[in-house]
Structure 1
Amino acid sequence: MKNIIVFLLVIAFSSPAFSKCYSMKEAEAEQGIRIHSELMVIGLNCQHLTPKGQTNLYTQYKDFTQKNAHLFSGYEKTLLSFYQSEGVKNPERHLHEVRTDFANKISQDVAKMRPDSFCAAYAPRISKANQMDTAKLKKWAATIFPGHPVSRPICAKN
């Protein structure tokens, strides 16, 4: 009987609900990937509504991505390392699924709003993000907003 209880406790505490917590670096990485994924959806959905005389919003998103490629690459490496430490069998596929989930979440906002209303509300994020230097972008990613929590708890000590 005692062995069965120990076995059940091991199973319970190894479930996703008891997954490893995020360090602040890992939380920032997840938020950075969320921001990048959201900006992609905004750029794609609003490119046809770019104000006359301005660079196409999707082109602005691609410029932002290129300018910050080192940062997003670092965020991806941080998350891949975390997923490996968690025993995820295919960390790259899992990261792709995380990105897809983030994109789908903002796509739901697109579906609920008229395109012009969505773009009026969200398109300015691309130009604002494009004007940020690395330090400011990292600060944005490191800020955990109530409406955009990370998928794991933050570790008590980092």
Structure 2
Amino acid sequence: MMTRVFLSVLTIIFLAASPVYASSCYSQQEAEAEQGIRIHSELMVIGLNCQHLGKAKGNDLYGKYRAFTAKYSDLFATYERIIMKHMAKNGDRNPEASLNTLRTEFANKISNDAAKMRPDIFCKSYSPRIDKAAQLNYEGVRRWAATIFPSHPVSKPVCKTSG
């Protein structure tokens, strides 16, 4: 009986320390970071796909995306560090490659949406995001990234906080 209790406690301790257990959820900060990276990746795809239509109307969407990226480069770099730290903490041997894969997955998802629509319809539906982003201040970008929409969930659940 005592051996069984000891083994149970040892198993719980081992599981709590393992990367699989630790990676089962994101902190609020990690969830915000992933969403921020998703938003940034999506804006890039929108800017690239819609630049021809925007320029025809005097609205350089890709230029706005680039200006947005430059303005908040420190925030996006912080988001990248947070996600790579989470990945490394959970046993990822190459967090930078995994971050690049994550960015590619986000870009591919919205690219697939674009491929299913006529370009003018895609741009009419999605290009307002770039104008919205261009008008946000630092805290506005963070609030946007911290908001988890049902249509755009993070890849892991957010950890429950005690309190």
TM-score normalized by the length of structure 1: 0.87
Contact 1:20–1:86, Cα closer than 8 Å, also in 2: no
Matched with 2:97 is 93
CA radius of gyration, larger in = 2
- Identical columns (%): 54
Distance 1:53 1:111, change over 3 A: closer
Is the partner of 2:58 in helix, strand or coil?
Answer: coil
1:46 pairs with 26, 46, 50, which one?
Answer: 50
- Paired amino acid for 1:90: N
Matched with 2:140 is 136
Matched with 1:33 is 37
Matched with 1:112 is 116
Matched with 2:158 is 154
Q: Following the alignment from structure 1 to structure 2, what is the Cα–Cα distance between the partners of residues 126 and 17?
A: 37
Matched with 1:103 is 107
How far residue 18 of structure 1 moved from its aligned partner, in angstroms, is: 7.5
2:121 aligned with 1:123? no
Distance 1:16 1:149, change over 3 A: farther
List, as ranges, runs of 4+ consecutive aligned residues in structure 1 with deviation greater than 2 Å.
14-20, 51-55
Q: Following the alignment from structure 1 to structure 2, what is the Cα–Cα distance between the partners of residues 17 and 84?
A: 14
Q: Following the alignment from structure 1 to structure 2, what is the Cα–Cα distance between the partners of residues 45 and 125?
A: 13
CA RMSD of aligned residues (A): 2.3
Contact 2:19–2:90, Cα closer than 8 Å, also in 1: no
Q: Deviations over 1:59-78 (max 9, x none)?
A: 11111100010110000010
Contact 2:19–2:89, Cα closer than 8 Å, also in 1: no
Q: How many residues align?
A: 152
Contact 2:47–2:130, Cα closer than 8 Å, also in 1: yes
Distance 1:18 1:46, change over 3 A: same
How far residue 20 of structure 1 moved from its aligned partner, in angstroms, is: 3.2
Contact 2:20–2:90, Cα closer than 8 Å, also in 1: no
Distance 1:18 1:26, change over 3 A: closer
How far residue 15 of structure 1 moved from its aligned partner, in angstroms, is: 8.3
Q: Following the alignment from structure 1 to structure 2, what is the Cα–Cα distance between the partners of residues 16 and 82?
A: 12
Q: Following the alignment from structure 2 to structure 1, what is the Cα–Cα distance between the partners of residues 147 and 135?
A: 18
Is the partner of 1:50 in helix, strand or coil?
Answer: helix
Distance 1:70 1:27, change over 3 A: same
Q: Deviations over 1:5-27 (max 9, x none)?
A: x99xx79xx68687331000000
Matched with 2:87 is 83
